Amino acid sequence: MDIAPCILVAIERIMTMSKPNRQHKASLFADYFHDKERIIEAYNAIAGTDFPPTANVEFKTLENVLYRSQSNDIAFMIEDRFIVLIEHQSTINENMPLRLLMYIADILKSITPEESLYSRNTASIPTPEFIVLYNGNDKYPDKKDLKLSDAYIVREKDPKLELIVPVYNVNKGHNEELLGKCTALSDYSTFIAYVKERFAHGDTLEAAIDNAIHYCIENGIMRVYLESESMEVKRMLSMEWNEEIYRKVLHEEGREEGREEGREEGRVEGARARDFEIARNMKTEGVETAFIINVTGLSEDEIAGL
C-alpha cells in the first residue's frame, strides 16, 4: 500500500521535530526524572527497595537507538548492581517488551568490554529491570505485566527468551499507595492531570499548561522544577501533546488510505485534499495552528477557513 505523499512528508517532519538533542529536550517525563534524587525515590517506591539518596546512580539513557524519532526515556545503573529502564507511555503499547529488549541490548553492548565476551570466565553484568509508567486517557488496570513471549508466532510453554515488563497506571485514582510513597511521581501525576482537566474544560493547550504551571507552583507541586524550567516545560509538553494527537489522526488517515488502496487517478488532488482533511481533524482536536502548518504545509489562512 502506497502512503499518500502528504503523509510521508508529515512523518518526516514529525521525526525531525522529535529528534532529541542537548539543546531541545524531547520529553517532560524524561527531563523531570533525569535527576538522581527523584529517580532513586521513584525506583524505591516501585521496586520496594531502600536505596539512600546518596546511592551511586549513573544514567545510561540512549538516544535514537531504534528509529530517528525514538529514544528510551530513562535508563540508569544504581550501585553498579542493577540497570533499570523506565519508560513513560501516554498511549497503550503492547510492544514495550520488544522495544525494551532492543534498548537493553544496546545499553549492555555499550557497557560491556568486547574482550570479556570472549573470555573463559562468565562476564558480570548488572541485573536488568524494566518498568513502564502509563498515564494516558484510555482505561487501564493499576498494574499489568507484558511479556515478550506474547509476541512469538510459535508459543512455547517455557520460552527460551523472555522479558517481562510491569506497566503501572500512574493516573490520579490509580496506584494511590505507590504514588503515596513517591512525591516526585505523585507531583508529576497531579501536574499532568491538571493539564488534562483544564484542556477538557475548554482551555487551549497553551492556556491549560500555563494554568497547570501556576496552580502547581502555588501549591508546592514540582515547584522548584517548574519555576526554573517553565518555558521548556511548555515547549516539551506542547510537542508531546500535539504529536500524540497527530499520531491519532495519522492512524485514522492510514485506515482510510487502506480503504482507498489501488486508486491512482487524481493522486495529486487527493494528496492536497488529504492535507486539508488532516488539518481539519487536528484543528478539531485542538492542535495549535503553527504545528498544523509545519505538518501539512497549508497556510494560516487556509487553516483558519476550515
Please count the other Cβ atoms lying within 10 Å of the Cβ belonging to residue 264: 7
Task: State whether 65 and 147 are in the same domain.
Answer: yes
Helix count and strand count (H, E) for the chain: 11, 6
Task: State whether 72 and 126 are in the same domain.
Answer: yes
pLDDT reported for residue 174: 95
Task: State whether 159 and 48 are in the same domain.
Answer: yes
Task: State whether 161 and 45 are in the same domain.
Answer: yes
Task: State whether 4 and 97 are in the same domain.
Answer: no
Task: State whether 37 and 19 are in the same domain.
Answer: no
Q: Which residues have C-beta within 8 Å of that of residue 131, sequence separation ≥ 6?
A: 46, 84, 85, 86, 87, 165, 166, 168
Model-level pTM greater than 0.95? Answer: no
* Domain-embedded: residue 176: no
| Residue entry with cell 482537566 | 197
Task: State whether 214 and 164 are in the same domain.
Answer: no
* Domain-embedded: residue 28: no
The gap from C-alpha 145 to its chain's centroid, in whole angstroms, comes to 18
Whether the CB-CB separation of 108 and 125 falls below 8 Å is answered with: yes
* Domain-embedded: residue 288: yes
Task: State whether 201 and 263 are in the same domain.
Answer: yes
- The full DSSP string for 34-96 is -SHHHHHHHHHHHH-----TTS-EEE---SSSSSTT---SEEEEETTTEEEEEEEESS--TTH
CA distance 222 to 227: 8
Q: Beta strand pairing status for 127-134 and 164-169?
A: parallel
pLDDT reported for residue 96: 96
Task: State whether 92 and 13 are in the same domain.
Answer: no
The DSSP secondary-structure symbol of 136 reads -
Task: Single out the residue of 292, 260, 220, 185 nearest to residue 4, CA to CA.
Answer: 260
Task: State whether 228 and 290 are in the same domain.
Answer: yes
Q: Beta strand pairing status for 127-134 and 143-147?
A: unpaired
CA distance 219 to 212: 10
Task: State whether 18 and 87 are in the same domain.
Answer: no
What range does the domain containing 93 cover? 33-134+136-169
* Domain-embedded: residue 115: yes
Q: How many domains does the chain have?
A: 2
Task: State whether 7 and 129 are in the same domain.
Answer: no
Reading the chain (306 residues) residue by residue, the pLDDT tens digits are 343 444 444 444 444 443 334 344 568 999 999 999 999 999 999 999 999 999 999 999 876 544 434 568 999 999 999 999 999 998 889 999 999 999 999 999 999 999 999 999 999 999 999 999 999 989 999 999 999 999 999 998 899 999 999 999 999 899 999 999 999 999 999 999 999 999 889 888 899 999 999 999 999 999 999 999 999 999 888 888 777 766 666 555 554 454 444 444 445 455 567 677 777 777 776 777 877 777 777 888 888 888
pLDDT reported for residue 18: 38
CA distance 59 to 124: 19
Q: Which of 113, 148, 169 is the last residue of a domain?
A: 169
